[in-house]
Homo-oligomer: A and B are copies of this chain.
Amino acid sequence: MMGAPGAAELVSSRRALTLGVGCSIGDHGGTLSNLGQVRRNVEESDGMTYCVGVLLKEAMVFASDSRTHAGVDNFAQFCKMTVFERPGDRVVVLLSSGNLAGTQAVISVLKQRGDAKDAVPNIWTVRTMFDVAVVVSDAMRDIERRDAKHLESSALTFNASFIIGGQIKGEPLRLFRTFAEGNFIEAGPDTPFFQTGEAKYGKPIMDRVITPTTSLTDATKCVLVSFDSTMRSNLSVGMPIDLVCYERDSLKLSMRRRFESGDPYFTALSKEWSEGVRAAFKLLPTLQW
């Protein structure tokens, strides 16, 4: 669908790193707001991040942590959420996990292709969320084609994966997740959420709470509780947490929040959850031998 980007395309237009609530691209896009000069090759395995996308009947929830590392002696903070928003037309949220150099390059290519004044379909011009997923997949494969053989020489693989969701005018809410090979699956009523990265610690509460008819309020709480469980057990998943909620057919984002370490709401949620779980545990029946 698209040609492989040349080296010049990949390295051009890198600007200073800006971290906001998510990394937003305004109206038409065009600015590259979350790409910085990354001088170190910060390698991040798929287990070293945590991203969740939830597809409800009436809304969607997206959240990502911000920790990356290249070994325990080299932690850093990068936004893993990218928003493509054109109010009244489309809201697309991408959550990245995997090798940071790879995921950043994919996002960069998506943005540059979105800015290009050519006829090649891009994230701003395609008509369905399925085609958005195809555009992301194409970008992944282009980067993989460029980088894979060089990674191999250090026994690394190109391991990016994305959660892609949102709505384009005239379409329903849709949620996808890509695999490292660039193929992807779509969520449905039976499986209304996707997790990438360090998914296991936070999955039990998601399994218990999330259904397509869960309220947005409850789904948001649940996603944050699943982050709390994950961060408690895996140091390589860390604050801040970027959270976006999107209401069906609004075609704009009005609920965004970044939870920094020490955030009063998140701290209260974590404490009350801990106490509630302990209280529930205390009430369990005792085994009679």
Tell me the A residues contacting B by CB distance below 8 Å. Answer: 200-201, 203-205, 207-209, 217-218, 220-222, 224-225, 229, 232-233, 254-255, 257, 265, 268-269, 272-274, 276-281, 283-289
Known contacts: A200-B201, A217-B286, A257-B289. The answer to whether A281 contacts B207 by CB under 8 A is: no
Contact of A280 among B232, B254, B279 (CB under 8 A): B279
Interface centre among A203, A207, A257, A284 (most CB of B within 10 A): A284
Query: In the complex, what distance in Å separates the CA atom of A254 from the CA atom of B204?
Result: 33
Chain B residues with Cβ below 8 Å from A283 are: 272, 276
Known contacts: A277-B280, A280-B279. The answer to whether A287 contacts B217 by CB under 8 A is: yes
Query: In the complex, what distance in Å separates the CA atom of A207 from the CA atom of B200?
Result: 15
A281 touches B217 (CB 8 A): no
Query: In the complex, what distance in Å separates the CA atom of A181 from the CA atom of B274?
Result: 37
Known contacts: A257-B287, A288-B265. The answer to whether A276 contacts B281 by CB under 8 A is: yes
Chain B residues with Cβ below 8 Å from A278 are: 208-209
A217 CB → nearest B CB, Å = 5
A49 CB → nearest B CB, Å = 15
Closest residue to A266 on the B side, CB-wise? B287
Contact of A287 among B221, B229, B286, B287 (CB under 8 A): B221
Contact of A276 among B269, B274, B280 (CB under 8 A): B280
Closest residue to A230 on the B side, CB-wise? B204
Query: In the complex, what distance in Å separates the CA atom of A203 from the CA atom of B277?
Result: 14
Closest residue to A206 on the B side, CB-wise? B233
Chain B residues with Cβ below 8 Å from A203 are: 201, 233
A132 CB → nearest B CB, Å = 26
Contact of A265 among B217, B279, B285 (CB under 8 A): B285
B257 touches A285 (CB 8 A): no
Known contacts: A204-B201, A274-B208. The answer to whether A221 contacts B286 by CB under 8 A is: yes
Chain B residues with Cβ below 8 Å from A279 are: 276, 280
Contact of A289 among B221, B255, B273, B284 (CB under 8 A): B255
